[in-house]
Structure 1
Amino acid sequence: MRFVRRRRDPVEVNLTPLIDVVFLLLIFFMVSTTFETRQALELTLPESETGTALDAAPVTLVVTADGDYRLGERTLSAAALAEAMTERATQAREHGLVLEADARAAHADVVRALDRAGALRIDRVRIATRETQSPSTQAERP
């Protein structure tokens, strides 16, 4: 007796749905990941009870405890501060300037930065602070 052989189709695995899922996962993780563009810098900001949270301005000037300045990714001395701020003055006039001064920074260093901002007609200068911790939270700290 002769059996009729059925022709078998070749078995295929469709990878299109798998590729779609992988791309969706990749997009999800890219969008949900926060990217930190600032370099690690040890700053102790002064406390404020009446401060309000604001979005970060594009121009941020950091005054360190050592009296150095950081504008964007560049570390500057007091002598180079004027030239660097002049380069970013137009952007700072448009969006404002955020001054992040270390709590241990000398008052003269902060005044120098504010004076330079005033000379460049930067009117919107915000000083970054951190929230005052409640007395119960301060007692719990080591």
Structure 2
Amino acid sequence: MNLSRRRKLSSHVETSSMNDIMFFLMLFFLIVSTMVNPNVIKLMLPNARSGKQAMKQPITISVDAAGTYFLDRTPITPTELEPELARRIAGLESPTAVLRVDASLNVQKLVDILEIGNRLKIKMVMATQAQQGK
């Protein structure tokens, strides 16, 4: 009598680590998809013989401790500031102004200049000085 048992071969694949891999892949694709800008249009741009770039010179508006206004180192009265700025930015695509206001002045002079820049649609950048000793 043949009483030997037949051994059944079974193939089994461990998939417990697949859950971790799928989770990390899902996180990766979610993060990457938020970084991609969908508004980008791929273009082949034409070549130019000269590699020069047009440098934009910002307009400098300064107010010293005495309250004197300067437009690119030229003294100017506060009432003349807006028309002179409008004249200088005429024809510029994206005008930029650097504000240099003395720290001892009150904030109102700075706000007045910012309002003028807002009316004329000028990008305003405030110049600051790094703190010493930090």
TM-score by length of 2: 0.51
* Structure showing greater Rg: 2
CA drift at 1:108? 1.3
Task: After the TM superposition, list the runs of 4 or more consecutive aligned residues in structure 1 that deviate by more than 2 angstroms.
Answer: 89-95
CA drift at 1:89? 2.5
- Maintained 8 Å contact 1:59/1:92: no
Instruction: Number of aligned residue pairs: give it.
Output: 80
| Distance change (3 Å), C-alpha of 1:81 and 1:63 | same
CA drift at 1:91? 6.9
CA RMSD, aligned part only? Answer: 2.4
Q: Which amino acid aligns with 1:120?
A: L
- Maintained 8 Å contact 1:57/1:98: no
Is 1:134 the equivalent of 2:133? yes
Between 1 and 2, higher relative CO (CA 8 Å, sep ≥ 6) is seen in: 1
Is 1:107 the equivalent of 2:107? yes
Match of 1:72 in 2: 72
Is 1:125 the equivalent of 2:119? no
| Distance change (3 Å), C-alpha of 1:93 and 1:101 | farther
Is 1:62 the equivalent of 2:56? no
Give SS of 1:62's match.
strand
Q: d(CA) in 2 for partners of 1:113 and 1:98?
A: 11
Is 1:85 the equivalent of 2:85? yes
CA drift at 1:97? 0.9
Give SS of 2:86's match.
helix
- Maintained 8 Å contact 1:61/1:72: yes
TM-score by length of 1: 0.49
* Structure 1 alignment gaps of length 5 or more: 1-55, 136-142
